[in-house]
Amino acid sequence: MANISVIGSGGWGSAVAIMLAKNGHRVTLWSYLKEESEDLKKYRENKPFLPGVKFPDGVRFTSELSECCQDADVIVTATPSHAIRTTAKNMSGFIKDGQIIVNISKGLEEGTHSTLSKVIKEEIPNCEVVVMSGPSHAEEVSRDIPTTNVVACENCETAKIIQDIFMNPNFRVYTNTDVLGVELGGSLKNVIALCAGIVDGMGLGDNTKAALMTRGLVEMSRLGVALGAKHETFNGLSGVGDLIVTCTSMHSRNRRAGILIGQGKTPEQARDEVKMVVEGIKTCRAAKELADSAGVEMPIVNEAYKVLFEGMAPGMALKNLMGRDKKHETEMDFLGTVK
Ligand SMILES: NC(=O)C1=CN([C@@H]2O[C@H](COP(=O)(O)OP(=O)(O)OC[C@H]3O[C@@H](n4cnc5c(N)ncnc54)[C@H](O)[C@@H]3O)[C@@H](O)[C@H]2O)C=CC1
Ligand SMILES: O=C(CO)COP(=O)(O)O
């Protein structure tokens, strides 16, 4: 049994806290807002994000970071991506050498385009970072619906420690050492999920969505390989696996925001209506800027950028994508990835 602190009590942090407590660990769940923490304590339920799911006895609640870090064997970070740097900075003074931090948030930092494990390592140089990603909606994990994820760390022995802590008969965990590939897959799929929602909101067909997902995966892998990730990682749980779930599930916040945009709402209106974190909007900007500076072609991401940030109508973006130059499907670039 381990002492685990989960930093961030949105839907995902709460679901993971519930699961880890059911696995037999002592869990402390940290909330950004004191009122959020008080409500969790009072109702033993996350009413806004996971209504109807009770926290097991093994979970306690706090809004004090110091008490989360000091006695924890493992710390799990689950804040929105934009809050990871500040949260890590605030945690840094309480972290012991070699402390394992498992990041389960998905996204890239605005401006620097850094992966979240890199941001954590910059703020807490004495810790060891593991990332967990894959197809896992909080609504299902909190209700013990069978799910598989992957934990990635350059040190496979550390990944195995986390695999043992998280694994249970309804939550199967694989290990991987391609940290960059796992993080990029989990982040970039949110942009394609937004586009899948737009396709649904426009009332287009299954053919259109299958095309978007397939070619979207090609773009994700192409950028990933150019940045140093392994191509095969994108064919795993954190790549195609998460892409499938996010592009097809009504639980997906990114897909739900996309549906609203496809129906004519602005990205701001869509984000406000979804109310929960829609990471794909910011990640789209980061992906476009990364692709531009690495000279990588990402036509879907480019069109999504125009819709999200330049006011282009989704119908025009679709026309641009369908009207591109003719291609051979498996055309390779110099790195051996499919163009
Ligand atoms: N919800 C899900 O099923 C999954 C979410 N994720 C990722 O987990 C991360 C968190 O997402 P959710 O739990 O869905 O979010 P959520 O929308 O359910 O909750 C957001 C939480 O962030 C807190 N918050 C707001 N501003 C903050 C700040 N400045 N500092 C710290 N906390 C702040 C809010 O109080 C709230 O508790 C995201 O990166 C998301 O992509 C990953 C896998 C599954
Ligand atoms: O990453 C997720 C599921 O694996 C959550 O995706 P959404 O943020 O789109 O709900």
- CATH 3.40.50.720 in the chain, residue ranges: 3-177
Chain centroid, CA 8 distance in Å: 14
The pLDDT tens digits for 222-276 are 999 999 999 999 999 999 999 999 999 999 999 999 999 999 999 999 999 999 9
Ligand 2 centroid – CA 242 distance (Å): 8
Strand partners, 168: 171
How high is the pLDDT of residue 330?
A: 85
- CATH 1.10.1040.10 in the chain, residue ranges: 180-322
Ligand 2 centroid – CA 243 distance (Å): 9
- Any idea which ligand is nearest the CA of 246? 2
Q: Is 331 exposed, middle or buried (0-12, 13-18, 19+ CB in 10 A)?
A: exposed
CATH code for the part of the protein at 180-322: 1.10.1040.10
Q: Does residue 83 have its Cβ closer than 6 Å to ligand 1?
A: yes
Q: Which residue CA neighbors atom 6 of ligand 2 most closely?
A: 252
DSSP conformation class of 115: B
How high is the pLDDT of residue 332?
A: 72
How high is the pLDDT of residue 83?
A: 98
Helix (H) or strand (E) holding 104: none
Q: Taken in order 48, 252, 280, 240, is the CA torsion positive or negative?
A: positive
Inform me whether the pLDDT recorded for 201 exceeds 90: yes
Inform me whether the pLDDT recorded for 334 exceeds 70: no
Ligand 2 centroid – CA 279 distance (Å): 9
CATH code for the part of the protein at 3-177: 3.40.50.720
253 is known to lie in a ligand binding site: yes
Query: Strand order in 100-103's β-sheet?
Result: 59-62, 26-30, 3-7, 74-77, 100-103, 128-133, 147-152, 171-176
User: Across residues 103-108, what is the average pLDDT?
Assistant: 98
The pLDDT tens digits for 113-161 are 999 999 999 999 999 999 999 999 999 999 999 999 999 999 999 999 9
Interface ipTM: 0.99
Alpha-carbon distance of 333 to 222, in angstroms, equals 9
* pTM metric for this prediction: 0.97
How high is the pLDDT of residue 290?
A: 97
